[in-house]
Amino acid sequence: MRNAWAVYIRELKSYFVSPIFYIVAAVFVFANGTNFKDTFFNFALQTMRFLRNYINYGQAPPMANVNDVAGSIFTFMNFISLLIIPLLTMRLYAEEKKNGTMELLMTSPITTPQILMGKFLSCLTIFSLLILTTVSFQVILYYYSEGKIDTMSVLTGYLGTFLLGGTLISIGMFFSSMTENQIVAAATTVTVVLGLWLVIFTSTFLNQPYNHIVRYMSLIDHLDSFARGYLGVRHIVYYLSMMVFWLFLTGISVESDRWRQ
């Protein structure tokens, strides 16, 4: 445990001295902030239009749901995570290999699982800090709607994003362990993740039970339940299973490098 903690602290510090992290953080905050601004103002304009029609024509205005704005925050944040997480994971093992420090890690008394968990948890911590920057958007919505926002949907939405992030990190770690080229690691991760994201659209061309199997494999299909405030066990199990699977593959990849040292 002490060795895993040492790896965790080491990796965490390396993020804060890396210019890539600050570029990724700036892009993440700016993109999500812009999306929230546009969505929020469109919602406000729609609300005013409904009220104006009510005043001018006496028509009962349809209900403008502020929770749609909250949902759009998670939809966009989950999508942008597909692009920024590979940039956070590409260096985890590839940089070690390129700098020659991988040999030191492999010949040290630190075990492969300890290295694996230290790196995984450090990247997950960084991602958690990024998604926490969007909490202010939810606070604004809560104040604007006078508390009418669905708090449970917001909480489960963040849980879904957190689980998605952990899954993407585990995938990125595997491909980072396969090469010393960070660009190759990031590009391969994006390709695989987009494939898992878009595979749901192929399910419409399949018959039962294959369409259900394909839908279950999709990263995007499981996020809907979290956005609706529903904690489905099978959705949580899916993300946790994906994390374990890809971390297991990463461990095998790293362990094979250890035996070659």
| 182-227 pLDDT, tens digit each | 999 999 999 999 988 887 777 666 667 767 777 778 888 888 888 8
| Model pLDDT, residue 229 | 80
- Of 180, 192, 198, 209, the closest CA to residue 246 belongs to 192
Distance between CA 8 and CA 119 in Å, rounded?
6
pLDDT number for residue 162: 96
The pLDDT value recorded for residue 197 is: 85
Residue ranges making up the domain that contains 47: 2-260
CA atoms within 13 A on the CB side of 90: 20
Whole-prediction pTM: 0.91
pLDDT of residue 1: 63
> To 10 degrees, what angle do helices 2-16 and 112-132 make?
40
Low-confidence stretches of the chain (pLDDT beneath 70): 1-2, 50-64, 147, 203-207, 210, 258-261
Structurally, how many domains does the chain consist of? 1
Please give the Cα distance from 42 to 53 (Å, whole number).
17
Question: What's residue 128's pLDDT?
Answer: 96
What integer pLDDT is reported at residue 61 of this predicted model? 54
Q: What pLDDT does 173 receive? A: 96
**Mutual angle of helices 19-57 and 67-89, in 10-degree steps:** 170
